[in-house]
Structure 1
Amino acid sequence: MAQPRRRFPPPWQDRQGQFSPLKLAVLLGLTLPALWLAWLAFRGGLGPRPIMEAIHQAGLWAVRILLLSLLITPLRQVLRWPRAMLVRRMLGLGALAYALLHLTLYALDLGWDLAKVASEIVLRFYLTIGFVALLGLLALGVTSTDGWVRRLGGPRWQRLHRIVYGIGVLALVHFALQSKIDVTEAMLMAGLFLWLMGYRAVAPKGGAPGLLRLAGLAVAAALGTALLEAGWYAVGTGIPPWPVLAANLDVSFGLRPALWVGIAGAAAVLLRAARLLRERLPAARPAH
């Protein structure tokens, strides 16, 4: 007799109930930032304001993992790797978990005064948009199950889950606003998000863009990142945009976000080229 299917199978199993090394590896990877944060807290390595640093780190990882979840579609198409889809839901839930930790630590920093937490969220704009992003992630997390796909139907479910793009924008604005003066990492995340959105705009339905489109996307995303950074500093601090734009060409103090985004885009071109080359090479014939 066949065994009844468990309602909540272990997260390291695929849809056929088989063990998936990929899912286990991603699951373990998602726990590492939290474990490292706990270790630093135990060792007193979070600086003079440990709770505030923990809040920052949890929020940072929420954004990083959210972007990784958006990277799954390009990975699947560029590398022709359908199994990448196995971990998209897990990554989305991981982003939600770190966003909830971010909020929980903020409440801890305010002494669990929930009225104070609510008033701060209402009165501070960057907290308001961060909380809206969290609510959006929560809605996506709740409806991420196969049961909700059946209840809503495929097209409606897909339309609902496209709000992840708006959530990404809100999360990045929240990140940049709370970063105050140094928005280097926030601009890097924003630039990578530009590439991810640009990829969806230039990719043919169900497939990967050609090499020329990917190369153009790499250049456009890098330029967009530089312009975004210059505009942010111009509006926020009054710094003229030209010195900020010129700084992207000065590598004396390390690479600026725009160059990192360009490098990431170039890596996508190389991966696509390698995959195309592999597909076009004739299969080796067995020796007689």
Structure 2
Amino acid sequence: MSDTVRPARRGAGRPAGVPWPWLDRAGRISALRIALLVALAAPAAVLLWLLAAGALGADPWKQATREAGNHAAHILLISLAVTPLRWIADWPKAATLRRMVGLAALAYALLHLVLYAGHLGWNLLAVGAEIATRIYLTLGFAVLLGLCVLGWTSTDGWQTRLGRGWKRLHRWVYLLAAAAVLHAFLQSKARADGAVVMAGCWLWLMLWRLLPGPWRARPLALLALALVAALATALVEYAWYGAATNLPAARILAANLDLAAGLRPAQGILLAGVAAALLPLLRRLTPAGA
């Protein structure tokens, strides 16, 4: 949510200072922004259609709530991936999309709460009681409040008002993303693969930010980062299963070395990290303007 988008020109079809998501900084209709808007809105449209059609199983509101929460966490992590994409792909325009992605994460988090209220029969007192007494819900609600603050202050006007404090405030998104991942772990029971993948993504994104500037798009540095992030993901998985479940954590850890066990979260993080490391090489091999 921390990119800066200037208001479009007056006369572009909307009041000054209201940045319609399909317009670029000059107030022109942007095919890229329209495509991104459709991609961000499509999961919500499909989810609500499935809910209305009764196609989400025996407990549709609960399933819809879970799916909306997963989308919120995934999109929040994608918003953190915009800056690495800008560096690795040498694509400065990516930075102009960050606020849209961050606001989409907020929208899905709000949808997550609304669907949870529907799951409880729209009993707002029960919703409040559950949030106050269940630690994972308290944590999730705190993340939602934090995203609301970042979303409200994401405009150019607030950036001007807060000055240097604006960046400090919006760096809280890293902690909010970590809390969202923990929220996913606490909701999971015996099967936490999705939460482990999110943890691995968060680790890669944070470790990338610790790299010195000149290394952030170097293939060898990115390969090393992929290995470190994959190892850290495996250790997080081991720690979770060892501390929070009765499952054999050591056997789950060893499965990362067994190709017959299927794709494990740490292996997926490694593959994604290797793909990121190859991107600068592919960019160099692609003729300019191709």
Q: What is the TM-score of this pair, normalised by structure 2?
A: 0.91
State the identity as a percent. 50
| Residue 3 (structure 1) shift | 4.4
| Aligned residue number for residue 224 of structure 1 | 232
- In structure 2, the partner of 1:239 is 247
Indicate conservation of the 8 Å contact 2:181/2:199, yes or no: yes
Q: Which amino acid aligns with 2:201?
A: L
Shift of 1:203: 4.0
Change (3 A) 1:213 1:184: same
Residue equivalent to 2:264: 256
Aligned match of 1:196: 205
1:265 aligned residue: 273
Match of 2:137 in 1: 127
Worse overlay, 35-44 or 190-199? 35-44
Q: SS at 1:46's partner residue?
A: coil
Residue correspondences, number = 278
- Once residues 280 and 67 of structure 2 are traced to their aligned partners in structure 1, the CA distance between those partners, rounded to angstroms, is 33
| Cα displacement string for residues 101-134 of structure 1 (whole angstroms, at most 9, x for unaligned residues) | 1011111111222222112111111111111111
Range with greater deviation from structure 2 (134-143 or 31-40): 31-40
- In structure 2, list runs of 5 or more residues that go unmatched: 1-8
Cα distance in 1 for partners of 2:170, 2:206 equals 15
Runs of 5+ in structure 1 lacking a partner? none
1:151 and 2:157 equivalent?
no
The residue matched to 1:169 in structure 2 has which SS?
A: helix
Contact 1:23 1:86 in 2 (8 A): no
Offset at 1:29? 0.6
The alignment partner of 1:193 has SS state of helix
1:97 paired residue number? 107
Aligned to 2:175: 166
> Which has the higher mean CA deviation after the structures are superposed, 215-224 or 248-257?
248-257
Q: Which residue of 2 aligns with 1:24?
A: 34
The answer to whether structure 1 residue 210 and structure 2 residue 218 are counterparts is: yes
Runs of 4+ in 1 over 6 A off after TM superposition: none
Equivalent in the alignment of 1:178: 187
The residue that corresponds to 2:47 in the other structure is 37
Q: Distance in 2 between matches of 1:28 and 1:71?
A: 19
RMSD (Å), alpha carbons: 1.8
Larger radius of gyration: 1
